[in-house]
Structure 1
């Protein structure tokens, strides 16, 4: 089999998926169809938003499908008519069995973790939030339970102390595109030896990676400084950790926090959430007695800014976070 013989359908939505699709197209592989989410209203004017995968597919003249329901008979029939040998899924919705069992060579997914660790919707976030020093990407064949299929291949990278989730996302996007191409080539060559995930768990429950909600992003100042610092890293630049700012008993609104630094000491002991302003620096007390210096933030109704700019425009007398 050659790359021209292998008929591929690609399923994905965000930028993370586009890089792999671009590599597939640029590599001369035979993409017979692309599936992405329907357009959605977004922004103040409710203008219809097109997914990054759709924009790329249209620019390349690829056959595009945007089903509302993945079990819709018309969509299933259109998918079958493409006579694809392989489906590739990257950052897309959960597929019904009638879809992922359709191609004769199966359906593989690119997941942004070292499975079986971090099964779920937000693997990159949770790896950084939990303070991991390593992560990676995995290709695996789909099966009934989400993110549990037999592993095809993995690649690893280091998570640097200075990395936030945006940095790790971009590294994994590129690494994932490399692994996607390698997996396709191994399928064409017939050299795969997939490994069941239960061989790698060691009898322990895999670390979950559930969806990130607003309350997930709220800072508990009673936690340790390192725990809060990693939460900020794991949610920056999006959706961003946050806390409600008070001046005395006056609530000033939710503040998004993007960058922090752990400091061992301050000029005075701080209660969890208590703010100390010294010149152009802002430090906050935490649960283990250490302080967390905030480096950049976004106040209500304002843009993101360095903390020095925020302090120049503020008149706080007894500030704290709660």
Structure 2
């Protein structure tokens, strides 16, 4: 494997959140020639609504990389700047959808890192949906961008297990580093001309799962379902945006819980508590033992701390 091939490649990197920083950092440390970084414009955030830089922008500035922050990806001035960089390859990690005029610009095209084993879980929230659906494994895929979202030719994949205790947060953090390593391996393979693209194939009889954006209605706990399904929903939405139910007509987010399958004669959706140590949400075939929760207007806390100060409506 020739490092000179790798350093010769002119690369434009596109990404915004912390997830993308791990990939950019891995490429920089490998000696890749990152000619520019494209990221989201600064946005007002926090109580003072001060302009906040994206995680990728902060990293790029610390490492003296050129930063581009287009409001619109089809803006002529941005496209002119992009062309002038004469990139051989573009890399997209946790960024917005690219128009064809952008992804088709470099001679080697644009590669994307996706948080699933494509063709499974195409879409905006692959980590969340894999856990919500109770998958026992997931992975990362590098692939070439084309028209339809997440459908381009696969370059490399790596799989890893999801445990019963994993949440969207723990899988995200593990995937961030596994994905960064896979991306470096992909770029090296492309630089040396030894990687073959493979079209995405759906084996006959295989059910394709999708990963659409998470909306508020996705986060509502339906306690009429099995306790395992509710437990998986909580894990798949923790720590963000959080699955929730109602307690005394207030939104109660559940971040951490344990499940217990047990026959009962109680009404699903009701709560059972001793007022001191435990709070159970009754489900169809058992109950969820709530461990970390957040009541509307309050901070996130352990259940024992919550019970110490809460009086239930009779």
TM over 0.5: yes
Could you tell me how far apart the structure 2 residues matched to 1:128 and 1:4 are?
38
Aligned to 2:164: 161
Matches within 5 A, 1:35-46: 35-46=38-49
Displacement after TM superposition at 1:53 (Å): 0.4
Of 265, 287, 292, the residue aligned with 1:269 is: 265
Structural mapping, 1:239-318, within 5 Å: 239-246=241-248, 251=249, 253-265=250-262, 269-278=265-274, 279-288=276-285, 290-318=286-314
User: Which of the residues 197, 222, 225 maps onto 2:224?
Assistant: 222
Check conservation: 2:42, 2:51, Cα contact below 8 A.
yes
TM-score by length of 2: 0.96
Cα distance in 2 for residues equivalent to 1:298 and 1:313? 13
User: 2:33 matched to which residue of 1?
Assistant: 30
Give the deviation of 1:261 after TM superposition.
1.2
Aligned residue pair count: 310
1:188 equivalent in structure 2? 191
TM-score scaled by length of structure 1 = 0.94
Which has the higher mean CA deviation after the structures are superposed, 199-208 or 167-176?
199-208
Shift in Å at residue 203 of structure 1?
5.7
1:3 is paired with a residue whose SS is helix
Shift in Å at residue 317 of structure 1?
4.7
Does structure 2 conserve the Cα–Cα contact (< 8 Å) formed by 1:270 and 1:291? no
Unaligned runs of 5+ in 1: none
Distance 1:84 1:29 in 2: 12
After TM superposition, the structure 1 = structure 2 runs for residues 167-178 of structure 1, keeping only pairs within 5 Å, are 167-178=170-181
CA deviation map 1:50-89 (0-9, x unaligned): 1100110111110110000000000000000000000000
Return the alpha-carbon distance in structure 1 between the equivalents of residues 206 and 100 of structure 2: 28
Q: Distance in 2 between matches of 1:201 and 1:13?
A: 34
Most deviating of 75-84 and 254-263: 254-263
Match of 1:57 among 56, 60, 66: 60
Give the equivalent residue in structure 2 for 1:118: 121
CA distance in 1, matches of 2:141, 2:117: 6
Are residues 106 and 137 of structure 1, via their aligned partners in 2, closer, same or farther at CA, if it must alter by over 3 Å? same
**Whole-Å Cα distance in 1 between the matches of residues 53 and 148 of structure 2?**
29
Offset, 1:145: 0.1
> Is the CA contact 2:227–2:261 (under 8 Å) kept in the aligned structure 1?
no
Call closer, same or farther: CA 1:200–1:194 in 2, change over 3 Å.
farther
**Aligned equivalent of 1:67:** 70
Could you tell me whether the CA contact under 8 Å between 1:270 and 1:284 is conserved in 2? no
Q: Is the 8 A contact 1:221 1:273 kept in 2?
A: yes
- SS of the residue corresponding to residue 176 of structure 2 reads helix
Q: CA deviation at 1:174?
A: 0.4
Residues 131 and 205 (structure 1), Cα distance of their counterparts in 2 relative to 1, 3 Å cut: closer
Shift of 1:204: 4.4
Q: Secondary structure, in 3 states, of the residue corresponding to 1:258?
A: strand
RMSD: 1.3
